[in-house]
Structure 1
Amino acid sequence: MTKPIQPTQTTAFYAQAILSFAISLTSVVISLVYLPADGWIKAFLGLGFLYVVTSTVTLCKVVRDRQELSEVTNRVDQARLDKLLAEHDPFKVDA
């Protein structure tokens, strides 16, 4: 039985994702601070920004959890199929 190749993330990809998130977060916060508008407008935009960030994190977790669940289900189904194939004897004659 061959094991499927699991995709792995490199350290560079992980670092790039963190750096990209940090830069985008910092740039939006700086632009909100220096926005020539009243404080309540800045607060409203900041609240909207926080909502987008938290909903994005939630969406990522949901997608990851669904993918992990499908992988577990596929492994269980594959194990059942492997067991059936191992127990099957094509030369067995039913009496």
Structure 2
Amino acid sequence: MTKPIHPTLTTAYYAQCVLSFGVALGGLAIGIAYLPVDPWVRAFLAVATLYAVTSAFVLAKCVRDRHEVGAVTTRVDQARLDKLLAEHDPYKVESL
């Protein structure tokens, strides 16, 4: 059985993700701040943006947790199978 390939998280990739998120959120904040509308509309858009960002973080955490649970279950099942195969002797004769 082959092991799943997990991508490695390099420092450059992590920095790129954080920087990209910051630029996107900053651009959105500047866009909302300079939007030619009433202040209550700006406040609504700002709250909606914060809600969308926090929901995205929560969703990412849930997906990660579900993946980790599946990985742990797979490892436990693999360990049980390995133990069973190690204990099995195909040449052992059962006494009657």
Aligned residue-pair number: 94
Alignment identity in percent?
A: 61
Relative to structure 1, the CA distance from residue 26 to residue 77 in structure 2 (aligned partners, 3 Å threshold; closer, same or farther) is: same
What is the CA-CA distance between 1:48 and the residue it aligns to? 0.7
Q: Paired residue for 2:13?
A: 13
5+ residue gaps, structure 2, are none
Q: Indicate the residue corresponding to 2:27 in structure 1.
A: 27
Shift of 1:6: 3.9
How far is the alpha carbon of 1:3 from its aligned partner? 6.6
State the partner residue of 2:42.
Answer: 42
Structure 1 moving runs of 4+ over 3 Å: 2-6
- Per the normalisation by structure 2, the TM-score is 0.91
Q: Write the distance in 2 (CA, Å) between the matches of 1:21 and 1:72.
A: 30
Displacement of 1:11: 1.1
- Offset of 1:7 from its aligned partner? 2.8
Hey, what's the Cα distance between the residues in 2 that align with 1:6 and 1:85? 26
> Which amino acid counterpart does residue 11 of structure 1 have in structure 2?
T
